[in-house]
Structure 1
Amino acid sequence: MKQFLIAASLAVFAVGAVQAAGGPAPKKTGIEGEGYVWNAEGGEKNEALTLKGDLKKGKEVYEICGACHLPSGAGRPDGTFPQLAGQHSTVLIKQMADIRAGLRDNPTMYPFAATMTDAQDLADVSAYIESLCVPVDHGKYDEADKMLQIAKGRTLYKKECQECHGDNGEGVKDKFYPVIAGQHYAYLLRQMTEIRDGHRRNANPDMVKIISKYSDKDLVAISAYQSSLKMPGSMCK
């Protein structure tokens, strides 16, 4: 009953937020469009990147996010909502700004992202999320061939993914490469599939080139390995 009430409340809020925002964000030209630059200068994203995030205010802004991503930032093990805790603030700012600007399609999140008033809100909430420790317990690949898939995924990861995402999935903050340690297997698999198939319009073109050749089985293996990664000193129960 409690879960139903929360879901109903979120649905009502989402409708109101969309109306307040004047409807869903327009779909702007994406990764394959003429003139699109993956990480272009200017706009709300760059303004937010120059601002110092206030953790106290960020925690207040995050309250609405916690309904889906949980107060801990752990997201959902089934991958419906990603793990956010400990993510680089640069990555968070870019993704939220892209959703708000119509460069990334996320109709579930858009109504909530649209409630943020300005670039300072983006900076504040991103700083707060980045300060949270990465949960150890998250959705992992858990089938009978788990060890085989992880071994195959490790080989593929070290060949082409490790250079950007790091030995332990720590990413690179100033290059906007996300933390993937602690991320849910199902979410990783969905995002990589969408990037490969051209449905993630704001994807890094370098990653699009790398991932375009991978089969479904390859992506399962890579996701299985990535979801097993842990960052020493940054993770908690």
Structure 2
Amino acid sequence: MAITIILVLLVLGSIAFHFISPWWFTPIASNWQSIDTTIEITFWVTGFVFVAVNLFLAYAVFRYRFNKDRKADYQPENKKLETWLTLFTTIGIVAMLAPGLYVWGQFVDVPADATEVEAVGQQWHWSFRLPGADGKLGEVDSRLVSDQNPFGINSADPAGQDDILIQRNELVLPLDKPVKVLLRSKDVLHNFAVPQFRVKMDLVPGMVTYLWFTPTREGSFDIMCEELCGVAHFAMRGKVRVTAETEYQQWLAAQPTFAQSQSRYAGDTSQGQALFQVCAACHGAVGEGNSQLNAPALAGQSRWYLKRQLQHYQQGIRGSSEGDVYGAQMVAMANMLRDERNLANVLSFIDSLPPPQPKARQGDLQRGRSLYRNCSYCHGSQAQGIYAMNAPALTSLDGAYLRRQLNYFKQGIRGSHKSDFYGAQMQLMAQSLHGEQDSAAVIAYIASLSADAAISDDATLRSAP
């Protein structure tokens, strides 16, 4: 009797939880209502089977409970029962498969007026490419990928010259316009998924996959990688921002083309040296850093990373959080380099400075080496920084500065701005260091790496525009 009651309560509890559960679909924001309908049909079919089987089991347990005066009747075959089971099973499977096949037929049939957008995945971030005025995307080749050509676009293909490049984790799309998203991976298996759009598809290295949808609601929606693509898989996030057509066109006009990215001003070292005198007051005459002024070393750091951080200060992404005293000081200094040519000149001069020698620090190097393994996936085995991962070099940075930044990430002082995608990833990774002893061990290990070992995998990384 007790088992019968438990089975009935299991059925009633499951039904109640299904309807009162807070874990339900996010509000849909695309044309794929039919996907929701298909899932709901699956819920009804499987739910009916779940209820029927468990209630029958409860009935059988109660009806045929042990009775010493009753003998079981063994029937090895029952054609009538098998016929009904086969019939009901067939109906259930057809009810689940048919709607899915119908929706899949729509899913692979892209509207002729859909705009093509390429989403490129790599550990652990997204970038995007849109066609220019010619409406065509240029040819790409993974062998052409470099710091100056991160998409691997074939410069000999005229169609690629006006391709619009979005080298950050946010894609903007117009409202109520169908979009075909071409999916390409630079390294391992990824997955492009936007829950509110009800779409997802794998990115398979060596081939191009696709999906399509029509955004039907303005707003900002998360892009997630729903494939285990490495140790920082959970941090591979992006955004799709859906706006009105006018705002979308304004955003599109402000994005650089491939041709523009290849013809950027490289900078003048002598002019940059004059401009750098203001920076030298804190960061040192040769960019060696000054721990007394809480200023990190600039020499030896990747040019692309320095440029991004200066732009983050200018845009309020860094230095605007409560508690970031030194970042707030940098905001005013960074605003002195808003002119693109002046910024290029200063970066050119910093690029010419010799990197400072790492300073050894006391700490548990064996433990630090073990903990640093997670960091090495982005920052490199020798903490040299990896452009493809958007991760800076660490060997030239003072231990006190590294400790402060790790604490900032843990406390949410850094990485909390909605546009700081890589900072948000570092917030998650910094939490893997449990306490000051772990941080000290990792910092000591980074400091133990020799300057010779801290050579970049790509000798041209620091010359990127």
Q: Write the mapping of 1:72-111 to structure 2, written as runs, cut at 5 A.
A: 72-78=286-292, 80-105=294-319, 106-111=327-332
Q: Distance in 2 between matches of 1:219 and 1:43?
A: 39
Q: 1:156-195, aligned counterparts within 5 Å?
A: 156-157=371-372, 159-195=373-409
- Equivalences for 1:45-60 in 2 at 5 Å? 50-60=264-274
Moved more, 197-206 or 61-70: 197-206
**CA RMSD across the alignment:** 3.2
Structure 1 residue 73: Cα displacement: 0.7
TM superposition shift of 1:169: 1.5
The equivalent residue for 1:152 is: 367
Give the partner amino acid of 1:134: P
Alignment of 1:9-24 (within 5 A): none
Asked if 2 retains the 8 angstrom alpha-carbon contact of 1:196 and 1:212, the reply is: yes
Question: 1:38 and 1:61, CA in 2 relative to 1: closer, same or farther beyond 3 A?
Answer: farther
Q: Does structure 1 retain, via aligned residues, the 8 Å contact 2:282–2:293?
A: no
The amino acid of 1:185's aligned partner reads G
Q: Is the 8 A contact 1:55 1:125 kept in 2?
A: yes
Give the match's secondary structure for 1:90. Answer: helix
- 3-state SS of paired residue (2:270): helix
Confirm or deny: 8 A CA contact 1:182 1:230 kept in the other structure.
no
Q: CA deviation at 1:137?
A: 5.5
Which protein, 1 or 2, shows the higher relative CO under an 8 Å CA cutoff with sep ≥ 6?
A: 1
Q: 1-side partners of 2:354 and 2:411: how far apart?
A: 32
| Match of residue 353 from structure 2 | 132
The verdict on how the C-alpha distance between 1:39 and 1:61 changes in structure 2, with shifts beyond 3 A counting, is farther
Q: Give 3-state SS (helix, strand or coil) of 2:332's partner.
A: helix
> Greater strand percent: which structure?
2
Residue range with higher mean Cα deviation, 225-234 or 61-70:
225-234
Give distance in 2, aligned partners of 1:38 and 1:89: 24
C-alpha distance after superposition, 1:62-99 (max 9, x if no partner) = 11100100011111245711011011110000000000
Whole-angstrom distance in 1 between the partners of 2:408 and 2:267: 31
Q: Please tell me whether residue 225 in structure 1 is matched to residue 440 in structure 2.
A: no
CA contact under 8 A between 1:152 and 1:221: conserved in structure 2?
Answer: yes
**AA of the residue aligned to 1:87:** Q
TM, length-normalised to structure 1: 0.70
Residue in 2 aligned with 1:113? 334
Q: Distance in 1 between matches of 2:293 and 2:308?
A: 21
Q: Any conservation in 1 of the 2:297–2:397 contact (CA below 8 Å)?
A: yes
- The one-letter amino acid of 1:155's match is S
Judge which range, 214-223 or 64-73, deviates more: 214-223
When normalised by structure 2's length, the TM-score is 0.38
CA distance in 1, matches of 2:286, 2:358: 12
Unpaired stretches in structure 1, ≥5 consecutive residues: 1-33
In the alignment, structure 2 segments of 5+ residues that lack a partner are 1-219, 223-236, 241-250, 320-326, 456-465
d(CA) in 2 for partners of 1:56, 1:114: 21
For 1:77 and 1:222, the matched residues in 2 are separated by: 19
Measured after TM superposition, the shift of residue 102 of structure 1 is 0.5
CA deviation vs aligned residue, 1:119-138 (integer Å, no higher than 9, x gap):
22222212221221111164
Among 192, 200, 215, which residue is 2:434 paired with? Answer: 215
Aligned residues: 194
Distance 1:176 1:69, change over 3 A: same
Change in CA separation of 1:229 and 1:79 when aligned onto 2, cut-off 3 Å? farther
Larger Rg: 2
CA shift for structure 1 position 190: 0.6
CA–CA distance in 2 between the matches of 1:62 and 1:48? 25
